[in-house]
Amino acid sequence: MQDNGPRSAGRTVMRPRPKVLNIDCAFLEAPGYEYERRRIESAGAELVLSRAATEDAIIEVCRDANIVLLEYPNTPLTSRVAANLPQCWAIVRYGIGLDNVDVRAFTEHGIVVCNTAEFCVEEVSDHALALLLASARRILPMDRNIRAGGWSDFPQGRPMRRIRNLTLGLIGFGRIARAVARKMSGFRLRILATDPYVAPDPGLGVELVEREVLLRESDLISIHTPLTDETRGSIGESELRAMKESAILVNTSRGAVVDEAALIRALQEGWIAGAALDVMVEEPLPPASPLRTLENVVLTPHYAAQSEESLLDLRTAVADSVEALVRGYWPPFPANPHVVPRIPLKPWSEFRRGAAPA
């Protein structure tokens, strides 16, 4: 592959074998990444495992890396990091969220940023359904009451409604929300969605409405937006007060989309009936968090994406992106498709896994 080099840092020095560096790997032992290693080495590159958690450490280990793999959503890939990666062509994220990556800064430096956008769509949508149904049918209070020696004498609280007679509101209407709509359509309930960037799918029978309408009319509300400057804290006191007192809020996206302090007040003071959360602002959830003790909350530990199949999909998608880049092709899901890359890249549509190097 020909090397154009970054404008600001002179020409990129091409290594005999491109270096692919995992900067925050879950396992430093090689067996945990044997699939990725086989795929990457077969493409003519080398895989190096590291664990760096600060800007300085990331800059130090990545100085000669051509492709950087990113696993965790709290590893800081800031503008300062972007400015100090002279040999880097691309950032490849294990997962969907890019809220810890300054995509604009990497774009300015000619570095492609990509994620695995189709990863865990089935799992997260399944998990959202599980949280919605467990909350609507109050499964956990019944379970706790029976384990404490009771039977049908658990506190009734709000009336239990037939699912079919409820309205589901989806905040965000990307891949996961569409999967939720498809699966929930079997209950034949009304489904609303609000998303300024995505049109509804007529085949799913979803009504596209303004956010204010969705908040006011929905009985079940499920959040499916990425964490951006625009969405951070976007479900705050005014939004929570606009919901029905019988509403249940489910979040499987990012914790910081919701103003957690306002949510706790809403749950304590009865602005809404309940919440089911797979994501929190601070993870792990602090031991002293009131969310741990509220009876009208269902909690899971940021586990919605997990399954044996999804993990295999994730590793395959990362390996596909890396192999494409090493062979001189765009990855399938660039977050900055208009970037001027440091190396020439051919269209992903022309890429064939395992093809001879370009």
DSSP-derived secondary structure letter, 357 = P
Instruction: Count the neighbouring beta carbons within 10 Å of the beta carbon of residue 255.
Output: 18
Among 34, 269, 283, 350, the active-site one is 283
Going by C-alpha positions, the residue among 252, 102, 237 that lies closest to residue 180 is 252
> Number of C-alpha atoms within 13 angstroms, CB side, residue 335?
24
Among 109, 138, 254, 315, the active-site one is 254
Residue 217 annotated in active site: no
Tokens 């154009």 sit at which residue? 4
Residue 39 annotated in active site: no
Q: Alpha helices, DSSP H only, in the chain?
A: 34-42, 55-62, 79-83, 103-108, 121-136, 139-147, 175-184, 211-217, 237-242, 260-269, 308-326
State the Cα–Cα distance between residues 121 and 123, nearest whole angstrom. Answer: 6
Instruction: Count the neighbouring beta carbons within 10 Å of the beta carbon of residue 158.
Output: 13
Element (H, E) at 250: strand 248-251
In single-letter form, the type of residue at position 337 comes to P
Going by C-alpha positions, the residue among 32, 74, 63 that lies closest to residue 49 is 32
Among 80, 232, 241, 302, the active-site one is 302
Residue 283 annotated in active site: yes
DSSP-derived secondary structure letter, 15 = P
State the Cα–Cα distance between residues 31 and 344, nearest whole angstrom. Answer: 33
Residue 180 near residue 128, CB atoms below 8 Å: yes
Going by C-alpha positions, the residue among 302, 219, 226 that lies closest to residue 257 is 226
Instruction: Count the neighbouring beta carbons within 10 Å of the beta carbon of residue 102.
Output: 17
Give, in degrees to the nearest 5, the angle at Cα 260 between 257 and 262.
110
Q: Which residues are catalytic?
A: 254, 283, 302
